[in-house]
């Protein structure tokens, strides 16, 4: 691989990180606008409604981030990459090193807040890399010569409600719902609502946890292809919004942006459920990269900054 191509790939990855940190994706912006409208319904003067004020503050924050060229939240999270990698993508062997180098450069250029603490040493590495970080999840796509790169900035507060647990199937799905509600009620306010709720169901805790995070990567407004799971997404959304936590935890109707469920076949004797949550500043991007390194940012119609 020619040096110039390596540089082009790293530069592209830095620009994707820059975009992800500074501008929310189109689907999140649309949903926040919808929730802002819902939150002001029933109030004569929406300016007097704390929930509406929080949305106003959020959109002012986003405008300022855009104007000043700064991240839209100070917590730029742990960098997680989810890659659907075509096996014929010509730069597959170099991609992991390029992603790591891109994080090191973005750490300075965006800039990213140093968030990575090495376990047991309990020391911040100072550059947003560390053991197994940036986190990279690979899915191979046989025959394709492209990659689809999802970048997710996993903030601290919005990672707090996360959990995975294996339940006895004889207790039904209700035990899992109860655990999910407990987590949301206890940690929602730390996670800067309205939250995006990702739920995974599988036979093992690790599989459910991975699916719950992948559920967060789905565009808001999409539904699970299984009609029963899709119905459950709607029912859980309605039920979780009755908690009344509201935007920013200042009470209101919109504690949750959406509920996404992903599932895998489970063992007959085990039902694993897991929860991952995203915050109002859900920083996630999806970019398709071609073999010649041209690309299309599928999550942000305005493209790279
Ligand atoms: S939960 Fe989200 S919006 Fe709140 S501080 Fe963390 S990253 Fe920022």
Domain boundaries in the chain?
3-22+72-155+283-297, 157-278
Residue 153 sits at φ, ψ, to 5 deg, of: -100, 105
Count of CB atoms situated within 10 Å of the CB of 268: 8
pLDDT one-digit tens code per residue, 102-159: 999 999 999 999 999 999 999 999 999 999 999 999 999 999 999 999 999 999 999 9
Task: Indicate the top mutation candidate among 22, 197, 279 to test ligand 1's pocket, ranked by most ligand atoms within 8 A of CB.
Answer: 279
- State yes or no: pLDDT of 172 exceeds 90: no
Q: pLDDT band at residue 207, thresholds of 50, 70 and 90?
A: very high
pLDDT one-digit tens code per residue, 225-242: 999 999 999 999 999 999
Average pLDDT, the chain: 95
Count of CB atoms situated within 10 Å of the CB of 138: 13
Residues ≥6 apart with Cβ < 8 Å to 192: 155, 157, 158, 248, 249, 279, 280, 281
Average pLDDT over residues 182-205: 95
Average pLDDT over residues 213-231: 97
CATH 3.30.1330 fits 3-22+72-155+283-297, yes or no: yes
Distance between Cα 69 and ligand 1 center (Å) = 18
pLDDT of residue 115: 98
- Token pair, residue 55, equals 């949305």
Distance between Cα 68 and ligand 1 center (Å) = 19
HSE-CB of 100 using CA atoms within 13 angstroms: 10
Tell me whether strands 256-263 and 195-202 are parallel, antiparallel or unpaired. parallel
Ligand 1: nearest atom to the Cα of 158 = 1
Percent of the chain with pLDDT strictly greater than 70: 96
The reported pTM is 0.95
Distance between Cα 247 and ligand 1 center (Å) = 12
Strand partners, 34: none
pLDDT one-digit tens code per residue, 49-100: 788 889 999 999 999 999 999 999 999 999 999 999 999 999 999 999 999 9
Of residues 22 and 243, more confidence is placed in: 22
């Amino acid at each position: 691989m020619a040096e110039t191509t390596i540089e082009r790939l790293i530069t592209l990855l830095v620009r994707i990180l820059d975009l992800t940190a500074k501008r929310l994706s189109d689907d999140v912006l649309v949903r926040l606008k919808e929730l802002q409208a819902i939150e002001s319904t029933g109030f004569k003067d929406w300016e007097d409604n704390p929930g509406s004020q929080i949305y106003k503050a959020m959109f002012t924050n986003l405008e300022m981030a855009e104007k000043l060229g700064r991240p839209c939240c100070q917590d730029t999270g742990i960098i997680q990459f989810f890659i659907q990698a075509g096996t014929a993508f010509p730069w597959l062997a170099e991609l992991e090193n390029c992603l790591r180098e891109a994080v090191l450069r973005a750490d300075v250029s965006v800039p990213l807040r140093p968030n990575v603490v090495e376990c047991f040493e309990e020391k911040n590495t100072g550059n947003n890399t560390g053991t197994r970080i940036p986190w990279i999840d690979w899915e191979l796509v046989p025959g394709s010569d492209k990659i689809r790169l999802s970048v997710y900035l996993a903030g601290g507060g919005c990672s707090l409600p996360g959990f995975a647990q294996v339940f006895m199937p004889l207790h039904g799905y209700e035990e899992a719902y109860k655990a999910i509600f407990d987590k949301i009620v206890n940690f929602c306010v730390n996670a800067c609502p309205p939250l995006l709720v990702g739920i995974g169901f599988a036979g093992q805790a690790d599989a459910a946890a991975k699916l719950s995070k992948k559920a967060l990567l789905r565009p808001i407004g999409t539904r699970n292809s299984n009609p029963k799971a899709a119905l459950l997404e709607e029912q859980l959304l309605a039920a979780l919004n009755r908690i009344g936590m509201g935007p920013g935890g200042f009470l209101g109707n919109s504690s949750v942006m959406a509920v996404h469920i992903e599932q895998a076949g489970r063992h007959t004797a085990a039902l694993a459920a897991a929860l991952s949550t995203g915050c109002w500043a859900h920083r996630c991007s999806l970019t398709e990269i071609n073999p010649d390194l041209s690309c299309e940012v599928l999550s942000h119609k305005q493209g790279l900054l």
